[in-house]
Amino acid sequence: MIQINENKTKKAFRSLFNHEKRKNSDQVNTVWLMIATKDPVNVVKSAPRAIPLKHSLQKPGSLRCLFTKDPQDTFKDLLISKNIKGVHQVIGISKLKKRYGSRDKMAALFSEYDTFLTDRRITHLLPKVLGKEFYKKRKEPMMVDFRAPDLQKEIIRALKSTYMHFDHGSYYGIKIATTALNESQAFDNVMTGLPEIIKGVPGGLDNIRSLQIKTAESISFTIYENSNQPDDEEEEEEEEEEEDY
């Protein structure tokens, strides 16, 4: 079990959010949990791992599109019959390939919706169909299990998750919060998601060198360093934490 200093982590979030407030911007930014591993990771590609969060990263009014198996009308009817909320468009895999086959049309689809969901059973087909942009910009579809006994709860679970796909390299970022949340909610998300995140890192806890939080333009704030590292492998602190807490 990872030993996280909760006070240090809360102070790190306070500093990060204070940094964002000083920018006087209404823009909502992603808060990343950055994982540094001791040994580079290089594993066979697999499906993204869903990481449960306490507070959703979805913003109010988000438009959501669901990719399904064929025929798509079967799934549209299912959502209607069960009075499922939170899905605004349903696109079957064949229609996705046919109607959005060009780069321009796929780019338009990418821009039209804030969030994408997918039937878990076709997840493996999507990278080739959607193209690199969806995954490069971390807008990969969230997986939904249509065999779940309560489909509405399953969709809510998916929308309250983030995803990790740690298959190569030694430094990886996971969307853990946004600046639309407050620092306490961001802290909750880290503590809720960490157990599953550690399971998803090849080598587990023993291979984690450090954990940091940051936005795209902020400095990094360290919330965990592996105390079992040899002295000559210990990382130097990247930045001094601001003394505003």
Among 120, 127, 162, residue whose Cα is nearest residue 45:
127
Instruction: Report if residue 157 sits inside a domain.
Output: no
Lookup: tokens for 215: 């936005």
Residue 155 confidence class, pLDDT cut points 50, 70, 90: very high
Instruction: Report if residue 127 sits inside a domain.
Output: yes
- CATH no. for residue 91? 3.40.50.790
Question: CB–CB of 209/36 below 8 Å?
Answer: yes
Cis, peptide link before residue 71, omega less than 30° from 0: yes
- CATH no. for residue 19? 3.30.190.20
Please give the average per-residue pLDDT across 41-67, as a whole number: 86
Q: What is the pLDDT of residue 100?
A: 94
Query: In terms of residue numbers, what domain contains 27?
Result: 1-46+166-227
Residue pLDDT, tens place only, 187-199? 999 999 999 999 9
Among 208, 211, 219, 170, residue whose Cα is nearest residue 190:
211
- Above 60 in pLDDT, residue 99? yes
36 and 109 together in one domain? no
Gap between the Cα atoms of 94 and 8, Å rounded: 50
Residue 234 confidence class, pLDDT cut points 50, 70, 90: very low
171 and 213 together in one domain? yes
Gap between the Cα atoms of 174 and 164, Å rounded: 6
39 and 78 together in one domain? no
19 and 72 together in one domain? no
Domain end point (choices 148, 181, 208): 148
Q: What is the pLDDT of residue 230?
A: 54
Q: How many domains does the chain have?
A: 2
Q: What is the pLDDT of residue 46?
A: 65
73 and 39 together in one domain? no
Q: What is the pTM of this model?
A: 0.82
74 and 39 together in one domain? no
- Above 60 in pLDDT, residue 244? no
Gap between the Cα atoms of 116 and 130, Å rounded: 11
Instruction: Report if residue 155 sits inside a domain.
Output: no
Among 92, 96, 62, 59, residue whose Cα is nearest residue 76:
92
Instruction: Report if residue 193 sits inside a domain.
Output: yes
Residue 132 confidence class, pLDDT cut points 50, 70, 90: confident
Instruction: Report if residue 239 sits inside a domain.
Output: no
Domain end point (choices 87, 116, 148): 148
Instruction: Report if residue 181 sits inside a domain.
Output: yes
Question: CB–CB of 57/177 below 8 Å?
Answer: yes
* Look-up of token digits 């040899």: 230
Instruction: Report if residue 244 sits inside a domain.
Output: no
27 and 78 together in one domain? no
Q: What is the pLDDT of residue 45?
A: 66
Instruction: Report if residue 29 sits inside a domain.
Output: yes
Gap between the Cα atoms of 187 and 177, Å rounded: 9
CA 229 → CA 8, 215, 221, 225, distances in Å?
20, 27, 19, 9
61 or 90: which carries more pLDDT confidence?
A: 90
3-state secondary structure at position 162: strand
Q: What is the pLDDT of residue 239?
A: 45
Question: CB–CB of 31/182 below 8 Å?
Answer: no
133 and 93 together in one domain? yes
3-state secondary structure at position 140: coil
